[in-house]
Chains A and B, each alone.
Chain A
């Protein structure tokens, strides 16, 4: 092997690391600008209609089925939550704010006990236009719910446009949700 080729060969590891490092740098910059979220989980439902389900009402709220979400005056946020979930507690003020601003939020209580749910709603207010219960958790499996809280944006024709796993934050609402709401209004 010629000396030059030998030298070039010994530079390969460095080249690999330089390329990798540049990639990581770009990813981190985009994470800082909120342009990239490694925790964003792909949902198979995006761009599709919701699977068949019919959930009973909970805590005096009106239950709903997938057919109720097919023709709507404006987009609806479907929020999965549970009284036993701490991030849901943190998310409650944000949902209250959104509901007050006129956004329609339909809630689904995931694997919850009626008494606990009543306490949760009593303590944190009720931002939900409709409130259903998925006591068995089977509907959540069909939706591919990753955990609670989790939020879906359903447009006027019943197509899922967006899914967010985790508690909604100011950044997510102003950066992602508001533009989507305008787009599908």
Chain B
């Protein structure tokens, strides 16, 4: 009964979404005030309808209702409750419902808190969101229905994919999707602005918090995913340049660019058409990322399987959404004139530079990801582009960003002078140079450049804050008081840059990692990274829905044991799948990482993969600091959703 109600709610949501779309887009043109007021109400009811459908699906998973095919295929009654819930979105059909749910949540938020927006703009924004949502709901309802029934029901479900039975991955998709889908609001604002033919500072103030919010979630989602693959897949890698990862990185890159150039629109009313294009591009890349991966075109290790007819439906949806919005852009954007002017050396120019490099990286990653299928299409050649290509191309483009992001925040708006800024930064530059020379002396040039770059970014950001609070020039208490008086957006931006610097440190540190693959019998030991690693024992251990073999590996330095690790191999009987559970011990600055890879027949020993990863934790710490910085910036009064529009926006007449 409940799944039927969920199915009905899903169908209702399709109708409501299309009503919201059509009314929202056309009512302002007809100057029909009542119809314009209907759009927010429709957005809220559309949200409630999807919410009901989503809850019904979760309910079916929680009570293990195996008459629902989705539950029978991807859940099981012996799986812990948390994974019965997260299993709902761990497959293609269920994740579509989650995706649409978050999209409708965004629409409902605009509807609920957008009372300060001009009525026509709000109606158009909601209209665009409604149309996008309607299209994807229709897709869900027709070709990937999660409520399909199965009769007779199996005694037990096939179970949740063991790799997905992990707290990190249970919450990775909702966070990542919120990041992807949140950009839909910036997109809707861009389309609404193109329809209205007007962009001003008030528009920038509305778009930026949404872009920032989605960016925070996307940053956190990517960080979570990277961390998950690091500790679960047991490869000790944190980024594989896999198409799915690239699909998340692309909107992050353009979203970061959007975040920076929306400041220019807000403060200086310049770069308008470019900002609109970035908003469209970011959401388009989010959509393509989520869906091309599912069409089966891109060859990836962790894609959902989907049939080609679903692929064609998705392609049509993407074509209408992306092609339509770019057509509108081509027609309407040339009328968006910039009003602010600025000198070649200024904060604006620094932000343009940031945009150029971020978008170049995005273009390179995009090309590298799509090159294989297109080469195959044109020339019939099978090839795969892997990490070496991306590393070689992305690293040189990241260098200038790292250099510029230290200087940029210290430049003044309109026209800046370089010399005073460089005078402020001599300390940061000096320390970075010393770091470079010390590490390069050990012949690790790449690591030296990375570490120096990370130190430079962190110190330059701290210099900026130190200058603003007049550190050492007023009393310590005075500095602290100034720190708290600083706009939160400034603190957030600084934290964002520091987070990036910390991440660069982590990535550079990982290039110094040492590893070893070795077969040890109990009692044997080996040397790696200055430690002695000893395999003490291999034994069985019970688990809730798996059985496992555990290896006890102890580490000693100068004869004294300081750590014992327990890497395990888990066997999930329901799926006949073995997973490796890596044992990772971190002290915040280095990871000791051991994987129990196999038990080679006839040796009585264990094949172990042992790794020492200097600075690895900084990669994810940096990502979290970035997301946190975004969150703090979001709490700035200036950006708080709705706050700027309480009073009549000054630029609204432009």
Binding site for B on A (CB under 8 A): 3, 6-7, 10-11, 13-14, 17-18, 20-21, 23-28, 30-32, 36, 38-42, 84, 86, 113, 135-136
Q: Which residues of A contact B600 (CB under 8 A)?
A: 136
Q: Could you tell me if A24 and B308 are in contact, using CB atoms closer than 8 angstroms? A: no
Q: Which residues of A contact B601 (CB under 8 A)?
A: 113, 135
Q: Which residues of B contact A30 (CB under 8 A)?
A: 377
Q: Could you tell me if B576 and A84 are in contact, using CB atoms closer than 8 angstroms? A: yes
**B309 part of interface (Cβ distance < 8 Å):** yes
Residue in A closest to B299 when the chains form the complex, CB atoms: A38
Q: Could you tell me if B273 and A10 are in contact, using CB atoms closer than 8 angstroms? A: yes
Q: Could you tell me if B292 and A36 are in contact, using CB atoms closer than 8 angstroms? A: no
Q: Could you tell me if B323 and A86 are in contact, using CB atoms closer than 8 angstroms? A: no
Q: Could you tell me if B292 and A24 are in contact, using CB atoms closer than 8 angstroms? A: yes
Q: How far is the CB of B325 from chain A (nearest CB, A)?
A: 9
**A21-B376 contact, Cβ under 8 Å, with A13-B277, A14-B330, A39-B299:** no
**Cα separation A35 to B311 with both chains bound (whole Å):** 16
Please tell me which stretch of B175-183, B312-320, B538-546, B617-625 contacts chain A, meaning at least 4 of its Cβ atoms lie within 8 angstroms of it: B312-320
Q: Which residues of B contact A136 (CB under 8 A)?
A: 600
Q: How far is the CB of A63 from chain B (nearest CB, A)?
A: 16
The 7 lowest CB-CB distance pairs between A and B, nearest first, are: A14-B326, A11-B330, A42-B382, A32-B308, A31-B308, A28-B311, A10-B330
Q: Which of A10, A18, A41, A86 contacts B329 (CB 8 A)?
A: A10
Q: How far is the CB of A33 from chain B (nearest CB, A)?
A: 9
Q: Could you tell me if A28 and B326 are in contact, using CB atoms closer than 8 angstroms? A: no
Q: Which of B326, B333, B377 contacts A27 (CB 8 A)?
A: B377
Residue in B closest to A30 when the chains form the complex, CB atoms: B377
**Cα separation A23 to B292 with both chains bound (whole Å):** 13
Q: How far is the CB of B607 from chain A (nearest CB, A)?
A: 11
Q: Could you tell me if B377 and A14 are in contact, using CB atoms closer than 8 angstroms? A: no
**Cα separation A20 to B285 with both chains bound (whole Å):** 13
Q: Could you tell me if A21 and B318 are in contact, using CB atoms closer than 8 angstroms? A: yes
Task: Known A-B contacts: A10-B333, A41-B382, A86-B575. Give 10 more (CB < 8 A).
Answer: A3-B334, A7-B330, A13-B277, A21-B322, A25-B315, A27-B373, A30-B377, A32-B308, A38-B297, A136-B600
Residue in A closest to B601 when the chains form the complex, CB atoms: A135
Residue in A closest to B376 when the chains form the complex, CB atoms: A36
Residue in A closest to B328 when the chains form the complex, CB atoms: A14
**B295 part of interface (Cβ distance < 8 Å):** yes
**B281 part of interface (Cβ distance < 8 Å):** yes
Q: Could you tell me if A32 and B309 are in contact, using CB atoms closer than 8 angstroms? A: yes
**B654 part of interface (Cβ distance < 8 Å):** no
Residue in B closest to A28 when the chains form the complex, CB atoms: B311
**B327 part of interface (Cβ distance < 8 Å):** yes
**Cα separation A113 to B600 with both chains bound (whole Å):** 11
**B296 part of interface (Cβ distance < 8 Å):** yes
Residue in B closest to A20 when the chains form the complex, CB atoms: B370
**B1 part of interface (Cβ distance < 8 Å):** no
Q: Could you tell me if B297 and A21 are in contact, using CB atoms closer than 8 angstroms? A: no
Q: Could you tell me if A14 and B327 are in contact, using CB atoms closer than 8 angstroms? A: yes
In residues 254-298 of chain B, which contact A (Cβ within 8 Å)? 273, 277, 280-281, 284, 292, 295-298
Q: Which residues of A contact B281 (CB under 8 A)?
A: 13
Q: Can you list 21 A-B contacts with CB-CB less than 8 angstroms, sorted by A residue number?
A: A6-B334, A10-B273, A10-B329, A10-B333, A10-B334, A13-B329, A14-B329, A21-B315, A21-B322, A21-B323, A23-B373, A24-B315, A27-B297, A28-B308, A28-B312, A31-B308, A36-B377, A39-B296, A42-B382, A135-B602, A136-B600
Q: Could you tell me if B297 and A24 are in contact, using CB atoms closer than 8 angstroms? A: yes
**B383 part of interface (Cβ distance < 8 Å):** yes
**Cα separation A20 to B322 with both chains bound (whole Å):** 11
Q: Which residues of B contact A7 (CB under 8 A)?
A: 330, 334
Q: Which of B298, B326, B334, B383 contacts A38 (CB 8 A)?
A: B298
Q: Which of A3, A21, A31, A86 contacts B296 (CB 8 A)?
A: A31
Q: Is the interface of B mostly helix, strand, loop or mixed?
A: helix
Q: Which residues of B contact A23 (CB under 8 A)?
A: 373-374, 377
**Cα separation A40 to B383 with both chains bound (whole Å):** 10
**Cα separation A40 to B384 with both chains bound (whole Å):** 11
B401-418: CB near A (< 8 Å → 1, else 0) gives 000000000000000000
**Cα separation A38 to B298 with both chains bound (whole Å):** 7
**Cα separation A42 to B382 with both chains bound (whole Å):** 6
Q: How far is the CB of A129 from chain B (nearest CB, A)?
A: 25
Q: Could you tell me if B576 and A86 are in contact, using CB atoms closer than 8 angstroms? A: yes
Residue among B308, B329, B370 with the most chain A CB within 10 A? B308
Q: Could you tell me if B323 and A18 are in contact, using CB atoms closer than 8 angstroms? A: yes
**Cα separation A46 to B318 with both chains bound (whole Å):** 37
**Cα separation A41 to B284 with both chains bound (whole Å):** 29
Residue among A3, A24, A86 with the most chain B CB within 10 A? A24
Residue among A18, A38, A84, A86 with the most chain B CB within 10 A? A38
Q: Which of A3, A17, A24, A25 contacts B326 (CB 8 A)?
A: A17
Q: Which residues of B contact A18 (CB under 8 A)?
A: 323
Q: How far is the CB of A91 from chain B (nearest CB, A)?
A: 15
In residues 331-382 of chain B, which contact A (Cβ within 8 Å)? 333-334, 370, 373-374, 376-377, 382
Q: Which residues of A contact B308 (CB under 8 A)?
A: 28, 31-32
Q: How far is the CB of A149 from chain B (nearest CB, A)?
A: 14
Residue among A3, A39, A113 with the most chain B CB within 10 A? A39
**Cα separation A42 to B643 with both chains bound (whole Å):** 57
**A40-B382 contact, Cβ under 8 Å, with A25-B315, A26-B377, A84-B576:** yes
Residue among A13, A23, A39 with the most chain B CB within 10 A? A13
Q: Could you tell me if A14 and B323 are in contact, using CB atoms closer than 8 angstroms? A: yes
**Cα separation A24 to B297 with both chains bound (whole Å):** 8
Q: Which residues of A contact B327 (CB under 8 A)?
A: 14
**A42-B323 contact, Cβ under 8 Å, with A10-B333, A14-B330, A21-B315:** no
Q: Could you tell me if B329 and A38 are in contact, using CB atoms closer than 8 angstroms? A: no
Q: How far is the CB of B408 from chain A (nearest CB, A)?
A: 26
**A38-B373 contact, Cβ under 8 Å, with A24-B292, A32-B309, A136-B600:** yes
**Cα separation A112 to B327 with both chains bound (whole Å):** 58
**A21-B330 contact, Cβ under 8 Å, with A26-B377, A135-B601:** no
**Cα separation A28 to B318 with both chains bound (whole Å):** 14
Q: Could you tell me if B370 and A38 are in contact, using CB atoms closer than 8 angstroms? A: no
